[in-house]
Structures are given as C-alpha cells and as structure tokens.
Amino acid sequence: MLIDTNKLQKDEQVFLEMQQLFQSKGYSLYKMRRFEEYSLYLENKKFLNGENVITFNDTHGKLMALKPDVTLSIVKNARTEDANQKVYYRESVYRFDPASSTFKEINQLGLEFIGAISLDDMGTICYLAEQALSVIDNKFVFAISHMGIVTGIIEAMGISLENRDDVIKAIKSRNYEQLKEIGIKNGTSEDVLKKIKGIFDASTEFKDSLKALKEASFNNDIKVAVEELEKVYESISKISKGNNIRLDFTIINDIAYYNGIIFQGFVSKLPRAILSGGRYDRLLEKFNKQKGAMGFALSLSDLAVYNPNV
C-alpha cells in the first residue's frame, strides 16, 4: 500500500520526505542514547545558551542528564581519523521553556557534516535546510548570514570585550540608534558608523543586502563574509530556485562556537524561527578536533499547527 504523505501528521511527513533527500545526498541516520553524562553540558554551557538540564543519578551514582542538545554528542563522538562524517538524526531533546517555566520535550530533525567542508557542501547543507522549510509551508523564508559580519562590525567599531554583548544585542534587535550610541561612547569613526547604517538601511533581499555589505567592507572579516555568502548563494541557486533566500545580518549565533555561514528558517504560521544552524568549527576546536563542522536542527514539535484536520 502506498502512503499518501499529505495525510500524515506534519512532523511525520517532513521526516519521511527529508529522510529520503538527506540519504540521496549521502547522509546516514545517527541514533543515540537518551542520556549523556552531565559534565558534557556543564563544560559547554554557553553552547546551550545556559540552558537548564534535567539531571539524575544512574545506578552507579554518576550524574547523568536527559540530553538538551544533539550536536554536542555527535561532536564528542566524532573520530578525527575518520573521513567526512555526514549524519542526520531525529531525536528528542529536553529544554527549559521560560514561557511556561517548565521543561519541554522537543523532537528535533537535524543534520551534521563534520570533516573537510567545501563551498559546495555548504551550499548543499543550505539547500537541504531550505527544502525542509518548503516541505512544511510554501510560504517560507531561508535567512542566511555570516559570523564575519558581526565580528567585522565589532572590530571596525573598536569595541572592547566587555561591551561586545551590547553591540550584539543592538544588531540582533536591528536597533541602529542603540549601536550608534555605543559607537560614539567608544570613539567609533563617523565613516564606519555611516557604513554600518548602510547595512541597516538595506532590505534583506539577498542582492540588496550584499551590496550594502560590499560597500561597507571595512575589514577582512566582512570581506571574507561577503565572498563566502556570494559563493554559497551561487551554489544554492544552482540546485534550487532560491526565491526565498534572504540575507539577514541580524541573525547571530554564539561567537565562541560559530564561525562562517549561519542561517535560520521561518514559516508563515510560526512566530519564531523553526530551523537554525551554521558553521561551528570552533566547537570542534574545544574538543581538540581540527575539522570543519556545519549543520542545522529543525523543531518537529512545533509543526502541529500544520497538521491536516482529522
């Protein structure tokens, strides 16, 4: 009997369709234990945004945790001597939800590439993320950015480490006035501020935004960002129509772990990003593994609003 995927619950439909696509691009299913030692999360608390973790003692008295994240486990277990590791997973993670002040089980579909990542590989990962969004809703936005933009702005503004978080906050909230105020206090030149304003003023249409970034190329970080974004966009455009791709510099992941391309996905029926990911070589460095890494995760639990009426 053939299954009509349109009649399935949305999370099942997305999983089945994406599983096929992931496998066709050489990714294989990764299954993991439900528990991890708590120390893994304690040592990488920042990667989890200071997330609370549910802990318990196992039968030998060891402190264990219900995993709040999958990427850390995959990275920890990645073997440096192996060739490229390309995996996808469907796992539950347990996180604290501030809105309801309780822990929530979130079912995630994700993909990770650990190894020597080429520009085309990056393009393919972005394409797969974009496809996952299109399976959920034809009204979607795949918003891409680069960590070099934020590090470039911080450097050009001459911001000290202690004021860095304020700059990131201002960029994340698209608040140019706030950023300018910080700049003036820190002696940022008028020319740099003017160029940054150009980035804020541009729309998120890929070409419009890229043009503003090119005009503002005040240092190497931004130049590298522009170059990579342009090449990855070309690479995605080769396989997808690319109509829903935007360049949004307000997307920022943690500087301590992420570098290079980062992205988020949005669908019309959900008020928050449903998908997020990017390049995170710095996390591997923390595990003393000299390899590239990139991936994304999508919350299947949030898809109930798309379920067909039963």
Judged by CB under 8 A, the stretch of 146-154, 182-190, 223-231, 265-273 that binds other proteins is 265-273
Tokens of 105: 């089980």
Among 178, 186, 217, 219, binds other proteins (CB under 8 A): 178
- Select from 27, 266, 280, 306 the one that contacts other proteins (CB under 8 A): 266
Q: Shortest distance, CB of residue 40 to other proteins, whole angstroms?
A: 27
- Identify the residue among 49, 57, 268, 307 touching other proteins (CB under 8 A): 268
| Closer of 172 and 241 to other proteins (Cβ) | 172
Applying CB under 8 A, among 92, 270, 282, 301 the residue interacting with other proteins is 270
**Alpha carbon separation from 93 to 55, 104, 147, 202 (Å, rounded):** 13, 8, 26, 37
Helix (H) or strand (E) holding 115, with range, is strand 102-115
Site size toward other proteins, by CB under 8 A: 20
> What does the per-residue mask of binding to other proteins show for 189-228, with x meaning CB under 8 A?
--------------xx------------------------
- Segment near other proteins (CB under 8 A), from 136-144, 148-156, 221-229, 294-302? 136-144
Q: Which is nearer to other proteins, 23 or 173 (CB)?
A: 173
Binding residue for other proteins (CB under 8 A) from 143, 154, 196, 232?
143
Question: According to the binding rule CB under 8 A, does residue 272 interact with other proteins?
Answer: yes
62 is a contact residue toward other proteins (CB under 8 A): no
Question: What is the H or E stretch that residue 87 is in?
Answer: strand 85-97
Among positions 80, 173, 220, 307, the unique one binding other proteins when judged by CB under 8 A:
173
- Is 239 a residue that touches other proteins (CB under 8 A)? no
User: What's the chain look like in SS3?
Assistant: CCCCHHHCCHHHHHHHHHHHHHHHCCCEECCCCCEEEHHHHHHCHHHHCCCCCCEEECCCCCEEEECCCCHHHHHHHCCCCCCCEEEEEEEEEEEEECCCCEEEEEEEEEEEEEECCCHHHHHHHHHHHHHHHHHHCCCEEEEEEEHHHHHHHHHHHCCCHHHHHHHHHHHHCCCHHHHHHHHHHCCCCHHHHHHHHHHHHCCCEHHHHHHHHHHCCCCHHHHHHHHHHHHHHHHHHHHCCCCCEEECCCCCCCCCCCCCEEEEEEECCCCCCCEEEEECHHHHHHCCCCCEEEEEEEEHHHHHHHCCCC
Shortest Å distance, C-beta 22 to other proteins? 25
Q: Which structure tokens are listed for 33?
A: 């234990």
The smaller minimum CB distance to other proteins, of residues 63 and 184, is found at 184
* Closest approach of other proteins to the CB of residue 277, in Å: 17
Return the residue of 6, 50, 101, 177 that touches other proteins, per CB under 8 A. Answer: 177
In the complex, what is the shortest distance from the CB of residue 141 to other proteins, in angstroms, rounded to a whole number?
4
**Contact set with other proteins (CB under 8 A):** 139, 141, 143, 172-175, 177-178, 203-204, 246, 248, 250, 266, 268, 270-273
